[in-house]
Structure 1
Amino acid sequence: MYLLYTIFTSLAFFFVFKRMKRRRYCTDLTRLDGKTVLITGGNSGIGKETAIALAMRGARVVIACRDPDKAAKAVRDIKFKSHSLNVSHMELDLANLRSVREFCKNFLQTEKRLDILINNAGMPSVLDWTDDGFSMCFGVNHLGHFLLTNLLLPRLRECAPSRVLTLTCSSYKYQKLDFQDLNYNLLPFFTYCRSKLANVYFSQELARVTEGKGVTTYAVHPGFVQSGWTCHFSFLFRILMQVVMWMFFVPCEMGAQTVVYCAVSDEAAKHSGGYFVDCRPATLRPFARDSGVAKKLWEASERLVKLA
């Protein structure tokens, strides 16, 4: 009897876990023939699955990442899975603002179009520093993408209607910004939360800056995804998280669905500056909708990255 009870309880928990992992799929079939998509961190995880999905829709896909060997391998895999040869890679280190500037210069010289920019790359809650002295989370997740987007914004306007997607996380709700110390390095997890809140504010202010200029922008929470972020941590932590991710997190292909939706959907285009979860607009906490804070962060970011 005890054995039957144990089996029944285990199956019940397994069923609940599976229900928790169910997510919506993007059902919009819009093609992207003739359009160019740039995806940061497109060599793995959600970025790679997004690259495959958009290449299958006919887009020219450029993935940008730090390691050229990993990028080249990813490009071969994306081409194979998408049945598209129109995929390439460029080197970009978001932890180095000089690299961001060099990347944008090269991209603008070699690519005549930019229709969709997907700010996907990100760092988990690690206590480390960028080459410019910022915390790795804030420097990569926000400042690197802030500078990248601003330097590529003229091309996005030229190719309007165009879109900017910035991946964030629901953990934004656990912190508020401290303009006395945006790096906030005492507790790495809270540093990560602040960087994700910065992504939300950035998307909102970008929508205001580009209003009426043909560029729409979205903050996208892909859900909790079985990606490779644990590679930055110890072996024991990785083993533990593999079990947790298998039970609670969704595969990368499913995590990419909301990203794909915001990249192609006409319905999403009606909500520029919005926050999207599970292929639909979602409501932010009131403090995360403060336009004054969003503008203040934009101005502070301009100073930090020395954007004239």
Structure 2
Amino acid sequence: MDGKTVIITGSNTGIGKYTAIELAKRGAHVILACRDRKRAEEALKDICRLSGNNNVEIEMLDLTSLKSVRECAKRLRGRLSKLDVLINNAGVMMATGKSVDGYEIHFAVNHLGHFLLTNLLLDLMKKAPSARIINVSSINHAFFNCTINWDDINFEKPHWRINAYSHSKLANILFTNELARRLKGTNITANSLHPGVARSEVIRYMCGRYQIILNFLIFLITPIWWCLTKNLEQSAQTSIYLACDRHLDNVTGKYFSDCQERQSSKISRDEQAAERLWKLSEEMTQLNDALKEVRNEQND
């Protein structure tokens, strides 16, 4: 990874932080795209110390705000000569409420923010000899017969939070597949992955009574829990593999788990659904207007 620039969203904690440590160990220039500056600065110190690489920096990014995404991408375009790897790792689970722009929080953070960020950084990635986009999804995309909720994309009707999360993870894979199709023949590949269930991450996302209940259940089934879940090192391996492995230079539009290609759900492989989601995401993020700003920058 020497000489390569990597951006990892949500890298101040959990899987993203461990991924950053390992890629920094391999010599990459790592940019931590995070929302919380204090926690990002603490993570930066840890990553530099544990990796022995001081070529690590912070870029502020709040995925709940499309304005923040646009501003972050503009700063990055202004100071980077190229981008080799983009790992869209950040996410929320079992959250409540809406984004700054009024969208359901899981769909906004896990999908729309990354959709916009990725599109606004493509020109930087085209300047690299070969570039990789890695979208961290989840096996949850296949749970509960999950489909895209076209009639209520914003989940205005009563719903289970886990369904909204699964919905956003399905969107990750559909986005990846459509992106791979649109980038066919370029120097950029796009793949998605399931990292596994990280023990600390599951609990971190729970709140209030849900965390109390989960902790109690874990206490009752501790041996089974340890067999079914992974530590952070294990959970980060597929992201690291997709970022580094030289045999994946021409692999695109695939879904991985445990560092192996897997088959995602049937709906996640639906090309019409992927194209429909892309068009909807374009509208919700006002992508075309944002791209006009990029072109104006290039002409100045």
TM exceeding 0.5: yes
Other-structure match for 2:295: none
Paired residue for 1:203, among 143, 153, 176? 176
Residue 213 (1) aligns with residue 186 (2):
yes
AA aligned opposite 2:261: P
Distance 2:248 2:178 in 1: 17
Other-structure match for 2:27: 58
Distance 2:207 2:175 in 1: 32
Other-structure match for 2:148: 177
User: Shift of residue 160 of structure 1?
Assistant: 3.5
Distance 2:207 2:71 in 1: 33
Q: Can you give the 5+ residue segments of structure 1 that lack an aligned partner in the other structure?
A: 1-31
Distance 1:222 1:234 in 2: 22
User: Shift of residue 240 of structure 1?
Assistant: 4.6
**Is the alpha carbon distance of 1:232 and 1:281 closer, same or farther for their aligned partners in structure 2, counting shifts above 3 Å?**
closer
AA aligned opposite 1:286: K
Distance 2:174 2:129 in 1: 22
Q: Verify the 8 A CA contact 2:126 2:187 in the aligned structure 1.
A: yes
**1:1-308 equivalence runs, <5 A:** 32-174=1-143, 175-184=146-155, 186-242=159-215, 243=218, 246=226, 248-308=228-288
Distance 2:206 2:238 in 1: 27
Other-structure match for 1:24: none
AA aligned opposite 2:252: S
AA aligned opposite 2:258: D
Distance 1:184 1:234 in 2: 20
Q: Verify the 8 A CA contact 1:143 1:301 in the aligned structure 2.
A: yes
Other-structure match for 2:298: none
AA aligned opposite 1:181: D
SS in 1 for 2:152: coil
Distance 2:254 2:142 in 1: 15
Q: Verify the 8 A CA contact 2:81 2:127 in the aligned structure 1.
A: no
Other-structure match for 2:296: none
Q: Can you give the 5+ residue segments of structure 2 that lack an aligned partner in the other structure?
A: 289-300
Other-structure match for 1:13: none
SS in 1 for 2:106: helix
Deviations 1:22-67 (A, max 9, x none): xxxxxxxxxx100000000010000000000100000000001111
Deviations 1:220-275 (A, max 9, x none): 10011123453453345335545365563111111000000011113333430100
**Is the alpha carbon distance of 1:249 and 1:272 closer, same or farther for their aligned partners in structure 2, counting shifts above 3 Å?**
same
**Is the alpha carbon distance of 1:62 and 1:135 closer, same or farther for their aligned partners in structure 2, counting shifts above 3 Å?**
same
Please say which of residues 186-195 and 176-185 is displaced more in the overlay: 176-185
AA aligned opposite 2:47: I
Q: How many residues align?
A: 277
Q: Verify the 8 A CA contact 2:141 2:265 in the aligned structure 1.
A: no
Please say which of residues 104-113 and 55-64 is displaced more in the overlay: 104-113
Q: Verify the 8 A CA contact 1:117 1:165 in the aligned structure 2.
A: yes
Other-structure match for 2:292: none
User: Shift of residue 98 of structure 1?
Assistant: 0.2
Distance 2:137 2:194 in 1: 5
Q: Verify the 8 A CA contact 1:268 1:280 in the aligned structure 2.
A: no
AA aligned opposite 1:256: A
User: Shift of residue 278 of structure 1?
Assistant: 0.4
Distance 2:21 2:186 in 1: 29
Distance 2:152 2:287 in 1: 19
Tell me how large the CA RMSD over aligned residues is: 1.5
Structure 1 runs, 4 residues or longer, greater than 6 Å off: none
Q: Verify the 8 A CA contact 1:183 1:191 in the aligned structure 2.
A: no
